[in-house]
Amino acid sequence: MGRPAAPITLQPGDALVIVDVQNDFLPGGSLAVPRGDEVVAPLNALIARCTQLRLPVIATRDWHPPDHCSFQARGGPWPPHCIAATPGAAFAPALALPESATVVSKAVTADVDAYSGFGGTDLHDRLQAARVRRLLVGGLATDYCVFNTVRDGLANGYEVILLTDAIRAVDVTPGDGLRAIDEMARLGAHPIASVNIGNPA
């Protein structure tokens, strides 16, 4: 794993980006991430702090049509999951998203997949409009949608904090999650636990 970054402080220009904390990715879901439910508590703590400081909270979600190209029936790698407007696509009930949260839906058409929250969405435009410079990223799964969102965030010029206590991996191949963290750090992300992120003085 990449060397943890020094403790940081929340500041204007920060935004919390919560990646795909949806029922189908939680234990019992159709594409469950092992221990995926464990990301909710640290994310809720940061949601509360960011909301109090009036920092943007963004939640991405898979929002697939029933015949999406990522599904095994169409030759994709995954079972059906996060079909738009179904219970599996809903955010985790325990995730305390505020009314002010921005929801970004991705992979919404049958023939285009998107692991990244930036893929085919207006996320970058929304962040620019809010004058965001630094992203705090957590959610599911480390080795797929979190990895791709972090990579694209860096490519779009944002500083990225990877919330190491608020991510969990699929680990199709054992170690995929740790390798993804190492690669995100190599690309320039700063791995840090949310408990090491302070409030402004």
Residues taking part in catalysis: 20, 106, 145
Q: In 52-195, at which residue ranges do the beta strands (DSSP E only) sit?
A: 57-62, 102-106, 134-140, 159-168, 190-192
Decide: helix, strand or coil at residue 165: strand
Cβ atoms of 64 and 81 within 8 Å: the answer is yes
Q: What is the dihedral of CA 112, 166, 174, 4, to 10 degrees?
A: 110
Would you give the DSSP letter of residue 147?
H
Decide: helix, strand or coil at residue 180: helix
- How far is 184 from 150, CA to CA, in rounded Å? 7
Between the alpha carbon of residue 181 and those of residues 75, 81, 93, 95, 149, the distances in Å are 28, 24, 27, 23, 12
Q: In the chain, at which residue ranges do the beta strands (DSSP E only) sit?
A: 8-9, 14-19, 57-62, 102-106, 134-140, 159-168, 190-192, 197-198
